[in-house]
Structure 1
Amino acid sequence: MNTKIVSFGEILLRLSKPDYQRLTQGHRMLANYGGSEANTAISLAYLGNNVEYVTRLPYSTMGEAALMHLREYGLNVNHVVRGGERLGTYYFEEAVAMRNSHVIYDRKNSSMYSLKRGMVEWDKVLADAAMFHCSGITCAISHDSMESTMDALKLAEEKGLTIVCDINYRKNLWGYGMQPHDVLYNMMQYSDVAFGDQNEWEVASGIKHIPFEAHDACYFIDRDAYHAYFRKMHSLFPKCKKMIMALRNQLASTHHTLTGVLYDAVTDSLYTTKIYDIQPIIDPMGVGDAFVAGYIHAYRKWTDNNQYCLDFALSASALKNTIPGDQNLVTEEEIITNLTSSGGRIQR
């Protein structure tokens, strides 16, 4: 039986200033790797899954460094395409007190930006795969990148793979003339499993989201409202069997509430879970990617247990808030322990 999960996207170099400095301050930069799809792939590999990551990297020292980072976490990189001018980057200014975080993308003319349709040999990549994971970010980078994603989705559907689409709307990336809603709506037609936060579901569907205003873990989730909402989603995305929404309320830079909702379209059932009241937030980047990876891992292992899959995914996402950098380096055991304890204990 095939077990390979294929993820497609751009790995990025993340640059930030230490000690909550603004990007205009200081003389030192901290470097990490990020990129939504890479974050998801690395988290899945860390959880012990068979993962192949497909991207395009330059023939340069920075390209080799990014490739080494992927290999370090056990990813299969056999079909990474080489070429192009540069590695994509982004600059991250951390939030503190009442000052919001700030992201500046520097992806134009990156190797992934200049990827041409047909460069990825999808027949070979997907030949022994069980699941394909992609996101709206890859569709936003360039027209060719979007078409490469659609080519992969069509072939994955033909081969009967389980397709996981992360809506991942980033308004500052869309610049090649197509409307985000139109592209994301099309991408979602292929999904068996779809994920997004409340705002991303609104962009993809055009239907206004339900506000999430939790100030603590006692907040009441209107199950009937979400059930009705996802019935509408299923009418728009009829292939999608599992629909997951992450709900986060950012009360302050270091204080968030976080939960999730899952809709099973086959049984017309809605699942909710606990609310995490997280304080302090160490690093909020990649929290959604951790949710996706946690869900994929759980779905592969406990497919029919919707409640447990949602609980596991949320626990993984909550833990990511405690880890510096973009990637969620936690084990299955740690995620399960977080499900059943209040945390903070010394593990001996």
Structure 2
Amino acid sequence: MTVYGFGEVLLRYTPPNYKQLKDTDALRVNVGGAELNALVTLAQFGHGTEMLTVLPHHALGQLALQQMYQSRVGTSLIHQVDGRMGTYYMEESFGFRSGKVIYDREHSSFAEVGHVVINDVPIKKGDYVVLTGITLAINETIREQIVEILKGLKSQGAYIVFDINFRANLWSKAVAVPIIQSILPLVDVLFFGKKDATHLLETNTESDDIKTCAETLQRQYHIPLMASSNRDIEQSTLQGIALSEQGYLESEAYQYAVLNRIGAGDAFMAGVLHGLINQWQLKETIDFATKCSVLQHTTNEDALAVDESDVFKLASHFGELKR
């Protein structure tokens, strides 16, 4: 069994010490991307992974490859061409100051020819294919072909995993909604947020809770499994939810502290897939995935790179020291 991630690998440039971009004289570089982040975590948990992407033939592309080698993510299907690396610049939030992201990924190698890597993938029955709305946002050719691509993958026995992950800075709601609506009936595992139902797809109103939103989406698009990680900002807690044919369930609500918000949803996704692959009970799976998301908030990296045992041993109190 292999988990394939189809998407762009990005470089994130971040000023140190919570500086604003206009004030910084240095930038920290991280390698990431939603699909890659999930694969990094799954590789740490011992699963076979393969990244489906395009990288440029120069030192920045090599930097990304080196990070994947170190993380044990499969790279045998990656294409390398002339071109540029997709990047973004991030100001980290602090106190009441909101964070900010500036994307610079137009005409990147993946945006230009990313569609080539999804053809002739050696899918076996039971494999998982992960993609997100971020991937659909940046490549028009992929958007035009995605329904046929996913139908072909499903015909080979793959499970389709999709995170809506709408980014208004990358594409408009008018473009995004028809594409997302066209692929939802093909999805086996959907990751979503409440605003995806209330503001993007408009299947629900703001007065509906997350359970109602999940039930509406599942009923309309017949999605076998839906999952979401939800923050209570006032209580500083994270809670995972899932809806399947077994019904609706919630994890315990875990307190969290924020060192870094990048990749928390990707860690949650990886936790869910880890549980599904291991055929855990869904309650155990969602609880584990929520712990993954909590832990990712404590790192400076884009992806959660820990052992399974580290997740199970999540501290019950801030600053706890394991001896």
TM-score range (shorter-chain normalised) is over 0.9
- For normalisation by structure 2, the TM-score amounts to 0.93
Change (3 A) 1:323 1:121: closer
Check conservation: 2:54, 2:114, Cα contact below 8 A. Answer: no
Q: What is the SS of the residue equivalent to 1:185?
A: helix
Q: Distance in 2 between matches of 1:334 and 1:209?
A: 39
| Cα shift at 1:201 | 3.7
Q: Distance in 2 between matches of 1:285 and 1:135?
A: 15
| Cα shift at 1:249 | 3.6
Check conservation: 2:197, 2:213, Cα contact below 8 A. Answer: no
Code of the residue aligned with 1:309 in structure 2: it is: T
Does 1:336 pair with 2:312? yes
Q: Distance in 2 between matches of 1:47 and 1:233?
A: 31
Gaps spanning 5+ residues in structure 1: where?
212-221
Match of 1:214 in 2: none
Check conservation: 1:92, 1:102, Cα contact below 8 A. Answer: yes
| Cα shift at 1:199 | 1.5
Q: CA RMSD in A?
A: 2.2
Q: What is the SS of the residue equivalent to 1:24?
A: helix
Match of 1:108 in 2: 106
Q: Distance in 2 between matches of 1:30 and 1:270?
A: 41
| CA distances 1:1-44 after superposition (whole Å, capped 9, x unpaired) | xx111111111000011111100112111111121111111111
| CA distances 1:167-224 after superposition (whole Å, capped 9, x unpaired) | 111111116x96211111222221111102221344553223657xxxxxxxxxx9xx
Code of the residue aligned with 1:230 in structure 2: it is: A
How many correspondences in the alignment? 323
| Cα shift at 1:125 | 3.5
> Per residue, is there more helix in 1 or in 2?
2
Q: Distance in 2 between matches of 1:107 and 1:256?
A: 33
Match of 1:153 in 2: 150
Change (3 A) 1:169 1:233: same
| Cα shift at 1:299 | 1.1
Match of 1:296 in 2: 273
Does 1:13 pair with 2:11? yes
Higher mean Cα deviation, 178-187 or 48-57? 178-187
Q: What is the SS of the residue equivalent to 1:75?
A: coil
Match of 1:231 in 2: 215
Q: Distance in 2 between matches of 1:89 and 1:256?
A: 30
> Residues 243-282 of structure 1 correspond to what in structure 2 (within 5 A)?
243-251=226-234, 256-264=236-244, 266-267=245-246, 269-279=247-257, 281-282=258-259
Check conservation: 1:15, 1:30, Cα contact below 8 A. Answer: yes
Match of 2:225 in 1: 242
The correspondence for 2:40, drawn from 39, 42, 49, is 42
Q: Distance in 2 between matches of 1:152 and 1:343?
A: 45
Code of the residue aligned with 2:156 in structure 1: it is: K
Q: What is the SS of the residue equivalent to 2:97?
A: coil
> Residues 182-193 of structure 1 correspond to what in structure 2 (within 5 A)?
182-193=178-189
Deviating 4+ runs (over 6 angstroms): none
Higher mean Cα deviation, 197-206 or 319-328? 197-206
Q: Distance in 2 between matches of 1:200 and 1:121?
A: 26
| Cα shift at 1:337 | 1.4
Does 1:325 pair with 2:301? yes
Q: What is the SS of the residue equivalent to 1:33?
A: strand
Q: Distance in 2 between matches of 1:193 and 1:185?
A: 15
| Cα shift at 1:116 | 5.6
> Residues 115-130 of structure 1 correspond to what in structure 2 (within 5 A)?
115=113, 117=115, 119-120=116-117, 122-127=119-124, 130=127
Q: What is the SS of the residue equivalent to 1:171?
A: coil
| Cα shift at 1:330 | 1.9
Match of 1:134 in 2: 131
Change (3 A) 1:298 1:169: same
> Residues 54-65 of structure 1 correspond to what in structure 2 (within 5 A)?
54-65=52-63
Match of 2:260 in 1: 283
Check conservation: 2:114, 2:139, Cα contact below 8 A. Answer: no
Q: Distance in 1 between matches of 2:290 and 2:119?
A: 32
| Cα shift at 1:127 | 4.6
Q: Distance in 2 between matches of 1:261 and 1:58?
A: 39
> Residues 170-181 of structure 1 correspond to what in structure 2 (within 5 A)?
170-174=167-171, 179-181=175-177
Identity rate, percent: 28
Check conservation: 1:79, 1:125, Cα contact below 8 A. Answer: no
- For normalisation by structure 1, the TM-score amounts to 0.86
Gaps spanning 5+ residues in structure 2: where?
none
Match of 1:216 in 2: none
